[in-house]
A and B are shown apart, each in its own frame.
Chain A
């Protein structure tokens, strides 16, 4: 039950609603009861004072002393409905002149409060049956001298009435709470219906229907942020899913070419007897294809792991120019063969994982060497900024259309549709560069100005 209460919004709101109604009913009942009790008590007290006043007046009449001795009940009976009043007359010397108290109730005698006592002079007592009682004393004059009149009463019937009244209030509060629970259930069922509608729509989302969105306009305003967030999530999922499925399609496509070569050329070779040199040629060619596949698998795994932040960085501060020179040194022979010149300039310290930094720079340079115009210069530059260190590789080559620029860091994206397979490119080099920069919390950017293209890696300083 506790678990359900925590997990069901309807139950929770319902329970709170019932609690509120029950508390309100109980509070109202208590207030009304208190007011009622106070009013009844006030009226009883006024009656008691009235009784005292009557006795005092009677005592002032001629023959009152006589009457007090012969028929004391007369003083009690002068008021109708006051048969159970207790009256006591006490002389100036303290002697009880008369006491009308058939059942012998043990009420206390408060100090006499003069000829006209007010409510404050009334004292409380408890009868032998445990009923509440009230008592008041006042002074009077008899022919023979001053005397004290005590009037008391026990309110047994009144207590019983109050008890009945309390039960009724409790019953009324309980009934209204139950009625509230019932109403709450009905209201909540209706009120939460839009939530069910949203849930039903959400349940229908499939990989193929990611383009659908939940309707915002028809939803109540409270649900709109949720639906907006849900729709935004769908949009992100759709984008990621599209990229992923496009990626696996590309991947399959990219794998298909080398695998086709492997199968085809092997089958053609085996169809006829060949010379040893032919077989060697075949195997070597197969190895080249398979090495390309292996590199692609390796790159894919790296990208997958980088995407899930599973790559552990071992960041070290390195001299930026030093790192550029190392990479330039690595590519020097290859550049020389193509008549390219490599220059390194600038300064700065770069905080990066050395192996990943080298991998990123190597991919950029490999790209630059492949696309640079023969005889041109590839410039490597380091620049120390305030919060970042920028390493850039720029080269001159065939102009890259602006439409391609934004896509260059995407997997398998090739600006020139002519495949550069013969050069061993996997089409993943630049996306690995971006993944490495993401891991470092930095950015990889590309700028083109005609045939001049510049890739810039910005490493944060901390």
Chain B
């Protein structure tokens, strides 16, 4: 089922459509609220990404209309706003939105939020995660590559677990900071880079293939394929 993007700003709409399509989603793009509502009612829409700063019919009205129509009332809505005032957020969530992102946002962050809302990970809740020759025993907090057991600090383990749970997904630095350290603000990004470098020294440096890859400008991804091919 497709995702519906309602966005009037041409460049934003274009890159959202392109980026989400390339991330494996089917995407419908509406350039205004009315078209968006029509598409939502016609098609089987799985999720709506809604810009609240729309001309004429604004995002709040679209949201209300979506919730008022029984056919669309259950569709998860993620709204995008350039104003991160508290009352804006509260209003959106009160009107029945499920999540929001403040512009500017990292694209990887948007993809991660959409995946969370759709409850389709791939977030692996397994007790044992295997990627290539790496084995993570979540309960015992033990990591092995091949026959070698690797000792990790609690912090390193949490970081590796997060990356491995979302194998193949690019995770932004702010998402990593938020999940591993509960730091919910844009802080010094070098901190995350240093933490990943340290993890890599233990997990990747002595082994092949490399599992943790940098996506420059985006974040980090854990996967068996070498970077650049994916």
* Interface membership of A359, Cβ < 8 A: yes
* Interface membership of B104, Cβ < 8 A: yes
B195:A287 contact, CB within 8 angstroms: no
Q: Which residue of chain A has its CB nearest to the CB of B173?
A: A291
In the complex, per-residue mask of B88-107: 1 if CB is within 8 Å of any chain A CB, else 0? 00000000000000001010
* Interface membership of A372, Cβ < 8 A: no
For B86, the chain A residues whose CB sits under 8 A away are 312
A40 to chain B, nearest CB (A): 83
Interface residues on A, range: 20 to 34
Question: Looking at the complex, which of B11-19, B137-145, B181-189 is the stretch in contact with chain A?
Answer: B181-189
B183:A362 contact, CB within 8 angstroms: yes
* Interface membership of A336, Cβ < 8 A: yes
For A333, the chain B residues whose CB sits under 8 A away are 155, 191, 194-195, 197-198
In the bound assembly, the distance between CA atoms of A344 and B188 in angstroms comes to: 20
In the bound assembly, the distance between CA atoms of A290 and B183 in angstroms comes to: 21
A336:B190 contact, CB within 8 angstroms: no
For B206, the chain A residues whose CB sits under 8 A away are none
For A297, the chain B residues whose CB sits under 8 A away are 104
* Interface membership of B84, Cβ < 8 A: yes
A424:B185 contact, CB within 8 angstroms: no
In the complex, per-residue mask of B117-149: 1 if CB is within 8 Å of any chain A CB, else 0? 000000000000000000000000000000000
Q: Which residue of chain B has its CB nearest to the CB of A423?
A: B190
For A178, the chain B residues whose CB sits under 8 A away are none
In the bound assembly, the distance between CA atoms of A329 and B198 in angstroms comes to: 13
B217 to chain A, nearest CB (A): 3
A336:B194 contact, CB within 8 angstroms: yes
* Interface membership of A358, Cβ < 8 A: yes
Q: Which residue of chain A has its CB nearest to the CB of B216?
A: A284
**Given A326-B181, A333-B197, A337-B197: A359 in contact with B187 (beta carbons within 8 A):** yes
Most B C-beta atoms less than 10 A away, residue of A287, A294, A330, A331: A330
In the complex, per-residue mask of A327-340: 1 if CB is within 8 Å of any chain B CB, else 0? 00111111011000
A330:B191 contact, CB within 8 angstroms: yes
* Interface membership of A283, Cβ < 8 A: yes
For B193, the chain A residues whose CB sits under 8 A away are 334
- We find that the number of chain B residues with CB closer than 8 angstroms to chain A is 26
* Interface membership of A105, Cβ < 8 A: no
* Interface membership of A295, Cβ < 8 A: yes
B183:A358 contact, CB within 8 angstroms: yes
Q: Which residue of chain A has its CB nearest to the CB of B84?
A: A301
A423 to chain B, nearest CB (A): 6
For B188, the chain A residues whose CB sits under 8 A away are 334, 362, 366, 423-424
Which residue of the partner chain, among B84, B155, B187, B216, contacts A329 with CB atoms under 8 Å? Answer: B155
In the bound assembly, the distance between CA atoms of A288 and B189 in angstroms comes to: 11
B181:A298 contact, CB within 8 angstroms: no
B152 to chain A, nearest CB (A): 12
* Interface membership of A167, Cβ < 8 A: no
In the bound assembly, the distance between CA atoms of A336 and B195 in angstroms comes to: 10
A334:B181 contact, CB within 8 angstroms: no
For B194, the chain A residues whose CB sits under 8 A away are 333-334, 336-337
- The residues in A between 277 and 298 inclusive whose CB is less than 8 angstroms from any CB of B are 280, 283-284, 286-288, 290-291, 294-295, 297-298
B167 to chain A, nearest CB (A): 22
Most B C-beta atoms less than 10 A away, residue of A280, A333, A337, A366: A333
For A355, the chain B residues whose CB sits under 8 A away are 184-185
Which residue of the partner chain, among A288, A310, A312, contacts B217 with CB atoms under 8 Å? Answer: A288
Residue pairs across A and B with Cβ atoms less than 8 A apart, 18 shown, are: A284-B217, A286-B217, A295-B186, A298-B186, A326-B181, A326-B182, A329-B155, A330-B177, A330-B191, A333-B155, A333-B191, A333-B195, A336-B194, A337-B197, A355-B185, A358-B182, A366-B191, A423-B188
Interface residues, chain A, with chain B CB atoms under 8 Å away: 280, 283-284, 286-288, 290-291, 294-295, 297-298, 301, 305, 310, 312, 326, 329-334, 336-337, 355, 358-359, 362-363, 366, 423-424
Interface residues, chain B, with chain A CB atoms under 8 Å away: 84-86, 104, 106, 155, 177, 181-191, 193-195, 197-198, 216-218
